[in-house]
Amino acid sequence: MLTLLKQEKFLLLAVIAALVAYPLEHWMLHSGQPIALTAGLVLIAFIVVASMRVAHHAELLAEKVGDPYGTMILTLAAVLVEVVILAIMMSNEASPTLVRDTIYSAVMLDINGILGLAALMGGIKHGEQSYNDDSARSYSVMILTAMGVSMVVPEFIPEANWKLYSAFTIGAMVVLYTLFLRMQVGPHSYFFSYSYPEKRRRKVPEEEPEPVNLALSIGTLVFGVVVIGALAEVMSKTLDLGLEGTGAPPVITAILVAAISAAPEILTALRAALANRMQSVVNIAMGASLSTVILTVPVMEAMALYTGQPFQMAMTPVQTVMIFLTLIVSAINLNDGETNAIEGMTHFVLFATFIMLSLLGL
């Protein structure tokens, strides 16, 4: 028991933070903006800590089942964290563009940030890194279709028909993901795996695999998501108050939400790239982007239909251009089955451009 508590000390800290935050919520919200902003940032730190533990147990489960199921578990765990935080923040009367901006930020962070940095660092260390190009093409066309249907076409839908189109979007996303999931774990599962040459494997020292207690990992993962939800409830209120009137671009909150869910993926992807396992990086970065769009959209659209309050899902012209630039660059870079530092840098420059545009409020 003591060993378990020691292993989960960071999750316990997050639990303690939640137990402290709720009684102090009134004080934090009525002690001025600096206190509220500081409290919001501290709570974000505890949410990241809890999400790291959730990701760790998702990673243990992933190692046990292997690819492509393993990567699917990792990405679904990250999306679950994101959806929980988004749902709680939207229930607290957040910006109607928060969902759109978070999905957009997550795709920018996953493809240009994670994939770009991983390919850059891995390319500098290993030169060209191989992967299965079928996976990249499958992910890219699914992301383009999902974002086009759910975040570009809504710009042209009359306001009177938003409920009908929202219902259609939910159905389209569910059908797309159901078929994709069936192909990923069934007939086309080989698209998402790669057989590394034996000589490359020997470069990576063999580590003793951590024993996996299936029930414990699943239980801890679920408990961690509950703790994250509890922290997000207070964090959303304090952060909104802390940023109010500061002139900070509205997309900053969305970037923070996307970064919280992506934080564990960044570490996992970088470790995989440095170990010369680019297939895992592609699966994580592209899979997380697809899961974010295709799973977050129907959940949040269903929430909008339930409350009767539509979200602004259509991307701005700048966001649309950045998304299409990103997907065009990734389609070109991920078309030959090998990545290198130059390709990584092109994505990372796009990520830097996204950050600059966000700071400019665009």
- Each residue's pLDDT, cut to its tens digit, for the chain (362 residues) gives 667 667 778 888 888 998 998 898 888 888 888 898 899 889 998 988 888 888 778 777 777 766 556 666 766 777 778 788 888 887 766 678 888 998 999 999 999 999 999 999 999 998 888 888 888 888 889 999 999 999 999 999 998 899 999 999 999 999 988 888 777 776 666 666 666 665 444 444 445 555 667 778 888 888 888 888 888 888 888 888 888 877 778 788 888 888 887 777 788 888 888 888 888 888 888 888 888 898 888 988 998 898 888 888 899 999 999 999 999 999 899 888 888 999 999 999 999 999 999 988 88
CA gap 349, 267 in Å, rounded: 20
- In this prediction, residue 324 carries a pLDDT of 93
Domain ranges of the chain: 1-195+213-360
In this predicted model, what pLDDT tens digit does every residue of 217-269 receive, in sequence order?
888 888 888 888 888 888 888 888 888 877 778 788 888 888 887 777 788 88
The DSSP call for residue 160 is: G
- In this prediction, residue 105 carries a pLDDT of 92
The DSSP element (H or E) to which 354 belongs, if any, is: helix 341-359
In this predicted model, what pLDDT tens digit does every residue of 189-217 receive, in sequence order?
666 666 666 544 444 444 555 566 777 88
- In this prediction, residue 93 carries a pLDDT of 62
Q: Per-residue DSSP letters for 213-268?
A: -HHHHHHHHHHHHHHHHHHHHHHHHHHHHHHTTS---THHHHHHHHHHHHHHHHHH
Alpha helices (H) along 66-126: 69-91, 98-107, 116-126
What does the mean pLDDT of the chain come to? Answer: 84
In this structure, CATH architecture of domain 1-195+213-360: Up-down Bundle (1.20)
The percent of residues above 90 in pLDDT, for the chain, comes to: 25
- In this prediction, residue 318 carries a pLDDT of 95
Crossing angle of helices 251-274 and 98-107, in 10° steps, is 20
In angstroms, what CA-CA distances link 319 with 51, 57, 169, 324?
27, 34, 20, 9
In this predicted model, what pLDDT tens digit does every residue of 281-307 receive, in sequence order?
888 888 888 888 988 889 889 988 988
Contact present, 106 and 258 (Cβ < 8 Å):
yes
Region for 197 from its dihedrals, namely left if φ exceeds 0, alpha if ψ lies in -120 to 50, beta otherwise: beta
- In this prediction, residue 270 carries a pLDDT of 87
**Degrees, nearest 5: CA angle 13-19-22:** 135
